[in-house]
Structure 1
Amino acid sequence: MRSTTLGATGPEVGVIGLGCMGMTFAYDPAGRDDEVSVSVIHRALDLGMTLVDTADVYGPHTNEQLVGRALADRRDRAVLATKVGLEAAPGQKRLARNGRPDHVRDAVDASLRRLGTDRIDLYQLHRVDPEVPIEETWGVMAEAVKAGKVRALGLSEVSVAEIERAAAVHPVTSVQSELSLWTRDALSEVVPYCEANGIAFLPFSPLGRGFLTGSIQSATDLQEGDMRRNNPRFQPEAIEANQAIADRVRKIGERRGGTAAQVALAWVRAQGRYVVPIPGTKTPRYLEANAGAADLVLSPEDLAELDALPPAQGERY
C-alpha cells in the first residue's frame, strides 16, 4: 500500500488505516469473534494498513486488550493510536467526558498495561471536557510525551479554536473527526486548517457507519444491541431517503470497477494530503476491499459527482 505521514512531522503510515472499535464495541454484537479480529489486525499490517486505532472506552477496556494481544509479536509494525477522555458512566447510555489531569495521568498508564506496550505512538483526546480547560488536559498529555510513554498527541471532534489552544501548549499531530460522503461538516473549517498547518486528519466512520457500502437496506438489517438502531440516520424514513446516496456511490463504483466502499474511501482520501481514513471492520473480506481503495483514483468528474450528492437525512447522533 502507498504511504503518507501523519501530518508534516508524524510517522509514516499506510494511506488507509484500521479502526478497531467494532471488534468489541457498539456494532454487530453477535458477529464478534476475537480470534477473527486478531487475524484481521494481522492481515491489515500485512496489507500496509499500519495505523491501528482504538480507545480506552471501547468495551470499555476490552478493545485495547484485544489490540494489545494482536500486536504482541509485531508491535514495531504498527503505528498504535488510542484515546482518553470518555468514560462509560454506570447506569447511563451516554458516555461521560473526563479530561481531569488526575484521570489522564492514570489512564495513560492503564492503556499501556492493556496494550502490552511501553509507548503509545498517537495518544488522542477523545472529547474535550467542557468542565476542564483544554490547556490543562493537553498539558498532562504532553507530560506523557516528555516521560517517553507517548510519541505524539492528537485531538478528536474539535473546533479550529480548540486546536489552536492545544497547539499553544504542545504540537498537535492529528485531528480525528467523522468525515464521509454523508457527514461533511469538517470540510468547512477543520480539514482546510489541518491541511494548511501540516496536521493529519483521521476520518472515523468514512463509510457512513457502514451505510455507504450498500449493505444496509432497512433497520431490520441491524441486530438487537447494535448502536446504530438508535441513530437518527438509521431510522426507517431516513434509511429510505438516504438510499439515493448509497445508490449513486454504488453506480460510480460499477463504472470505475470498484466497490461502493472503495469509492467512498477514495473520496475521503482525496480531501487532503494527510487525510488517512480509518474504516472499521472485523471481517477479512471487507478488510481486503477497504485496502483496495488505496489504488482507486477518482477522476475530477467522479469527485464532482460525489461532491454534488445531497446531504444525509437525520442528525449524526
Structure 2
Amino acid sequence: MQTRTLGSTGPAVSALGLGAMGMSGAYGAADRAESIATVHAALEAGVTLIDTADFYAMGHNELLLAEALRGRDRDSYTLSVKFGSLRGPGSEFGGHDGRPEAVKNFLAYSLTRLGTDHLDIYRPARLDPGVPIEETVGTIKEMIDAGHVRHIGLSEVNAETIRRAHAVHPIADLQIEYSLLSRAVEADILPTLRELGIGLTAYGVLGRGLISGHWSAGHVAGPGDVRGLSPRFSNGNVEHNLALVEALRRVAEAKGCTVAQLAIAWVAAQGRDIVPLIGARTRQRLAEALPATELNLTLDDFAEIEKAVPAGAARGDRYPSAHMSSLGVGN
C-alpha cells in the first residue's frame, strides 16, 4: 500500500482510506461480523486511515470500530472523527453545534466510545452558522495542547472558511465529496487547499455506489438506505446517471479494470495531496477497491474518462435540498 501525507502538517496515511459510515446502517442493514472482518482486512492490506463520525447511528459506528481495533497497536492506524451534527431519537437531524463547550463534550464521548486517549484528526462535520469557525478550531487547538487530539481537519466548508480556520491553527485536511460526478471542488476549493498546504480526503468517490458499476436501473433502496432520499438516485435522474456509468464501463473494460477501480483511480490521480475514502462494507468490495492505487492512468485514459463523464454531467443534487445549504460547495 502506497502512502500519502495529508497536507504539509498532517499525518502520513495509506493512499486509500476506509470510510466506516455504511457499517452502521446508512445504506441499509449491515452485517456486524462482516464489518469487523472488513476493518481487519483493510488493516492487513496496509490501510491505515479510518474515518468515522460520532453521529453515525448515534455512536454505533464508534463502538463498532472500538471492537474491530481492540488489541491493535494504536500507532498503526489513524482515526479521523467528525463531530457536531445533532440527531434526535428518530434519527432526525437537528442542525450543527460548534460551540466550544460542545466540542469538548463531543470529544469526551468519542474518546470513551472508541477506547482511546487521543484522536488523530478531529473535525466539525459541517459549519455551525451561529459560531465563528475560529472559536470551534480554537477549541480543538486547546485539545491538541492537552494531548487529546493530534491534528485538525475540516469538512464541507468553503474557501473563505478554510482560510479563517487555517489562520487559527494549521489544518491537516479538508474532507469533502469529490468524484467524477461531483467536481465543484476543482474551481476554488482545491486551489485554496494547495496554496495553504492542506490535504484533501475525498468521500463519495463512487457516488454512494452509483458509479460503482454494481447499481442498476430499477434497483430500489431498502429500509434505512439514505440513497432512497438522494436526488441522484431518484426516478428520471438515476437513468441518466447510469448511462454515464455505462459509458465509463466501456473505458474500464478497455483498460482491463472494473468501473469502481477506474473511478477511484481517477480521484487518486488528481494529486498526491488527495486520499480517496472507500466506503466498503464487505471484504469483497474492499478487495475490488484496493488495486485502484496501482492503476496507471495515461493522458489518453483521462481524455476517454472525460468524454464518458464530462464535468457537470450528473443529474440531481448530491444531497436532498434540506441539506444543500450546509455544504461548502454544490455539486
TM range (shorter): over 0.9
What residue is the counterpart of 1:52 in the other structure?
Answer: 50
What residue is the counterpart of 1:181 in the other structure?
Answer: 180
CA displacement at 1:110 relative to structure 2:
0.7
Q: CA contact under 8 A between 1:25 and 1:63: conserved in structure 2?
A: no
What is the RMSD of the two structures over their aligned residues, measured on CA atoms? 1.3
CA displacement at 1:224 relative to structure 2:
2.3
What residue is the counterpart of 2:64 in the other structure?
Answer: 66
What residue is the counterpart of 2:26 in the other structure?
Answer: 26
Counterparts of 2:206 and 2:91, CA distance in 1: 28
Counterparts of 2:82 and 2:91, CA distance in 1: 20
1:221-265 alpha-carbon deviations (Å, 9 max, x no partner): 421221101111101211111112111221121111111111000
Counterparts of 1:92 and 1:82, CA distance in 2: 19
Match runs of 1:1-16 below 5 Å:
1-16=1-16
CA displacement at 1:22 relative to structure 2:
0.4
Counterparts of 1:61 and 1:168, CA distance in 2: 31
Matched, 1:316 2:327: no
Counterparts of 1:305 and 1:166, CA distance in 2: 38
What residue is the counterpart of 1:213 in the other structure?
Answer: 212
Counterparts of 2:147 and 2:122, CA distance in 1: 12
Q: CA contact under 8 A between 2:85 and 2:93: conserved in structure 1?
A: no
Q: CA contact under 8 A between 1:49 and 1:291: conserved in structure 2?
A: no
Match runs of 1:120-159 below 5 Å:
120-159=119-158
What residue is the counterpart of 2:302 in the other structure?
Answer: 303
Counterparts of 2:32 and 2:11, CA distance in 1: 28
3-state SS of 2:211 partner: helix
What residue is the counterpart of 2:329 in the other structure?
Answer: none
Match runs of 1:233-244 below 5 Å:
233-244=232-243
CA displacement at 1:307 relative to structure 2:
2.9
TM-score (normalizing by structure 2): 0.92
The residue type equivalent to 2:35 in the other structure is S
Counterparts of 1:103 and 1:201, CA distance in 2: 25
Q: CA contact under 8 A between 1:219 and 1:239: conserved in structure 2?
A: no
What residue is the counterpart of 2:324 in the other structure?
Answer: none
What residue is the counterpart of 1:226 in the other structure?
Answer: 225
3-state SS of 1:278 partner: strand
Change (3 A) 1:84 1:210: same
Bigger mean CA deviation after superposition, 189-198 or 179-188? 189-198
What residue is the counterpart of 2:248 in the other structure?
Answer: 249
Bigger mean CA deviation after superposition, 59-68 or 190-199? 190-199
Bigger mean CA deviation after superposition, 188-197 or 254-263? 188-197
Q: CA contact under 8 A between 1:195 and 1:272: conserved in structure 2?
A: no
Counterparts of 1:295 and 1:56, CA distance in 2: 32
CA displacement at 1:90 relative to structure 2:
4.2
3-state SS of 1:223 partner: coil
The residue type equivalent to 2:8 in the other structure is A
Counterparts of 1:220 and 1:124, CA distance in 2: 34
TM-score (normalizing by structure 1): 0.96
The residue type equivalent to 1:48 in the other structure is G
> Identity of paired residues, percent?
43
Counterparts of 2:258 and 2:113, CA distance in 1: 36
Counterparts of 1:307 and 1:136, CA distance in 2: 41
What residue is the counterpart of 1:37 in the other structure?
Answer: 35
What residue is the counterpart of 1:103 in the other structure?
Answer: 102
3-state SS of 1:277 partner: strand
Q: CA contact under 8 A between 1:219 and 1:235: conserved in structure 2?
A: no
CA displacement at 1:220 relative to structure 2:
3.0
Counterparts of 1:220 and 1:306, CA distance in 2: 25
1:26-74 alpha-carbon deviations (Å, 9 max, x no partner): 1122xx1111111111111111111000000101101011111111111
Counterparts of 1:103 and 1:46, CA distance in 2: 36
The residue type equivalent to 1:205 in the other structure is G
The residue type equivalent to 1:201 in the other structure is L
Counterparts of 1:146 and 1:181, CA distance in 2: 39
Change (3 A) 1:43 1:92: closer
The residue type equivalent to 1:186 in the other structure is V
3-state SS of 2:55 partner: coil
Counterparts of 1:221 and 1:15, CA distance in 2: 33
Counterparts of 1:25 and 1:211, CA distance in 2: 17
The residue type equivalent to 1:213 in the other structure is S
CA displacement at 1:196 relative to structure 2:
2.9
Change (3 A) 1:91 1:67: closer
